[in-house]
Structure 1
Amino acid sequence: MHTHTHLKQANKVQGLNCITAESSWRLPGHEKEILQALNDRFAGYIDKVRNLEMHNRNLEAEAAALRQSQAGRASVGEHYERELGDLRGLLQQLTGEKARAALEHEHLEEDIQHLRVRLEDEARNREELEAGVRAMKKYVEECRLARLELDKKMRALEEEATFLKKNHEEEVMELLAQIQGAQVSFDMRDALKADVTSALREIRSQLDTHASKSATHAEEWFKGELDQRGSKEIAEYRRQLQSRTIELETLRGTKESLERQRMESEDRHQDDLGSLQAGHQCRRAITNLDNELKTTKWEMASQLKDYQELLNVKMALDIEIAAYRSVRVRKHT
């Protein structure tokens, strides 16, 4: 009877230990702490099973001794038989709990491995997104520098055109002054030499022709120089714009790929969330994954904003190119 009471108390202690271990699983902790708790629980189960087996052997020895010494007392033998049956049932119960604990330990290791793979995938996605952001920033800086360079070259062309126009006007004024001076000189001698009139007309005609040819030649040279330089600048800018457009399309494809990966990651997260919510020991891991997913969504929103800004920069550059071409056309006309 005393032995049966001792076993009931051991069973209660075992139940308390199980509740304590299960409660410790519910508390937030690191994976190593969970594995350590499971290992401690297994060690406790093994010790309890060994103690019960030893106690069972002792009881069987005592029962055998009692049966030999008190063969006539059948009631005592039946009592010990019942107690032995209870002990055997308790032993089977402990064996089943040990098997369940081992199965839970195996499932927990699988869940932890799955979470590690998920975290590694999220880390890789985050690195790819950061690389995309750096590429976007570099592209924006290159566009800004290209715009500054084009503005500088446009100002240089405008200054050169102004200088050539001013120089041409000065040459024309100088030729006109020479013509007027020659005209005054010949008019003063007209009274004395009538035959000089035809020579003056011829000289004036030659000077007018020379001035007209000089003006036409200067204008044609200026237009040719401006067209040549402008064509080279426009061709170079078109090449740069085409290169930037290709890079933008590449980044757009990268962005779409990252968006698909994000959606797939979110779908996998929702599926895993439904399966992991059944285990109390994985609540902290689920919370961490939710936080990681929210952070990833925020970073994706930020990168989409940067991408939209790049598109706006490209549109602004297209508008500036159109304005530049319009200025060139007006200058030519």
Structure 2
Amino acid sequence: MSLRFSGGSRHLCLPSGSVRPPSGGAGFAGSSAGGNSVAGSGFSWALGGALVSAPGGGHADGTLGNAAGVGFAGSEGSLLSGNEKVTMQNLNNRLASYLDNVKALEEANAELERKIKSWYEKYGPGSCRGLDHDYSRYHLTIEDLKSKIISSTAANANVILQIDNARLAEMKVLQCSAGGNVNVEMNAAPGVDLTVLLNNMRGEYEALAEQNRRDAEAWFQEKSATLQQQISNDVGAATSARTELTELKRTMQTLEIELQSLLATKHSLECSLTETEGNYCTQLAQIQAQIDALEEQLHQVRTETEGQKLEHEQLLDIKAHLEKEIETYCRLIDGDGNHNRLEHEQLLDIKAHLEKEIETYCRLIDGDGK
């Protein structure tokens, strides 16, 4: 399709596909290569000296011109017909819807990043109550996912930026050509309606964007499911390890209590043993002293007994000797009847004296024997 302006020999060519509505609605937006969205950006254009602007996140009050009649929708030689005006108004509305969607996606992205950050703070390395879990093997997958999401967002933003640039170029040409009388010659195939063409293109790009969104979502869900499964397995292993550690701690505490009890019992028994040994040593010393005293007494008794034995033997010898003398004297007395009376009396005295001595020695012997 081509537009020819006779006022200044202006010629505008719109090749096929130069005017494309973005997915989810039509509008103008820009994006950097870093993948940052431009929900706060806007666009503006001038039509016949009137400036119409649409800030980020809004639209230009649903119109493309002001009420003064200056622009394409005026009563004097307006460039846009009623259908085109409605189309541009729809595009404005879709731009507002697109910016709202971008803002909602930004909020959802921020919420998702916050949840991911919270999850990493809660379940990341060194956060499981003393148990260190290394999730560094997931970092490459996460970074790959982030880079792919960023590249997809950047590509989408670049496409939208190209569409916006084409629209801005078209609006600039229309603004420049709106100053004088304009004769428009349409070299287009008969029966081609711009509204139908725009609607078809919009439908195609919306379908393509929806398909890309579904593919990206499916791919992200698949990767997220794998990652979530790995995380669940690691969490299960961590829970099992934590349970086992708790059981081991409980067992260790029980063994420590039992050890303390045994140590206390050992100390008590050692104290009792020491006290008993002390008591037995004291008693043994007393008994040994008694034994020494008894041995000393026994030695004295033995010494006295030996002396008494010798004395007893001497007395027995004396007794035997005296008995022999008595027998001799008796024999002499009995056998010598011719002795005189004086000698007889002397012998009787000697006999009586000897008998007394014998009785004395017998008493002594009997007393020593007792």
Which interval holds the TM-score relative to the shorter structure?
0.3 to 0.5
- Which structure has greater strand proportion? 2
Relative to the length of structure 1, the TM-score reads 0.37
Which gives a bigger RCO, structure 1 or 2 (Cα 8 Å, sep 6+)? Answer: 1
- Which structure has greater helix proportion? 1
Relative to the length of structure 2, the TM-score reads 0.34
